[in-house]
């Protein structure tokens, strides 16, 4: 079964030095059970990048936050969404959302953002 993940980018400029952020691909199709990586490219500098997902007729939900540092630091949703992880490449100015084994429930609209964008999620 093929899954479809769409990405939309939110760029909120407050408290960040990145000038823009954009998805590396607009639509991703993957076979159930296979790994998939969603990526966003940014320019400038960013301290942290957020990932959200949104199901039809639902509000976006926080997935994870990736902090820019020399070592990997990820803050996950509580409870953590199984099979989802994040990576950030400072040298390539890219942030990835990695889904280890895609399921039908992963079919959603995914957002990468420079700042928290969901009401009530105002802190890291």
Q: Which pLDDT tens digit goes with each residue over 42-88?
A: 887 777 889 999 999 999 999 999 987 666 789 999 999 999 999 88
Q: What is the pLDDT of residues 86-119, one digit of tens each?
A: 988 878 888 999 999 999 999 999 999 876 555 4
Look at residue 42 in the predicted model and tell me its pLDDT. 87
Record the pTM.
0.77
Check residues 123 and 66 and name the one with the higher pLDDT. Answer: 66
DSSP result, the chain: -EEEEEEEEE---TT----EEEES-SEEEEETTS-EEEEEEEES--SEEEEEEE-TTS--EEEEEEE-SSS--EEE-SSPPTTEEEEEETTTTEEEEEESS--GGG-SEEEEESS--STT----
């Amino acid at each position: 079964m093929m899954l479809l993940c769409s990405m939309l980018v939110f760029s909120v400029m407050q408290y960040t030095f990145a000038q823009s952020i954009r998805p590396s691909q607009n639509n991703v199709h993957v076979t159930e059970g296979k790994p998939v990586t969603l990526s966003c490219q940014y320019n400038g500098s960013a301290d942290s990048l957020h990932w959200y997902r949104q199901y039809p007729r639902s509000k976006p939900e926080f997935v994870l936050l990736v902090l820019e540092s020399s070592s990997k630091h990820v803050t996950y949703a509580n409870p953590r969404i199984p099979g989802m992880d994040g990576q950030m490449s400072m040298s390539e100015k890219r942030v990835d959302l990695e889904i280890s084994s895609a399921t039908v429930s992963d079919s959603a609209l995914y957002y990468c953002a420079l700042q928290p964008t969901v009401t009530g999620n105002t802190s890291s």
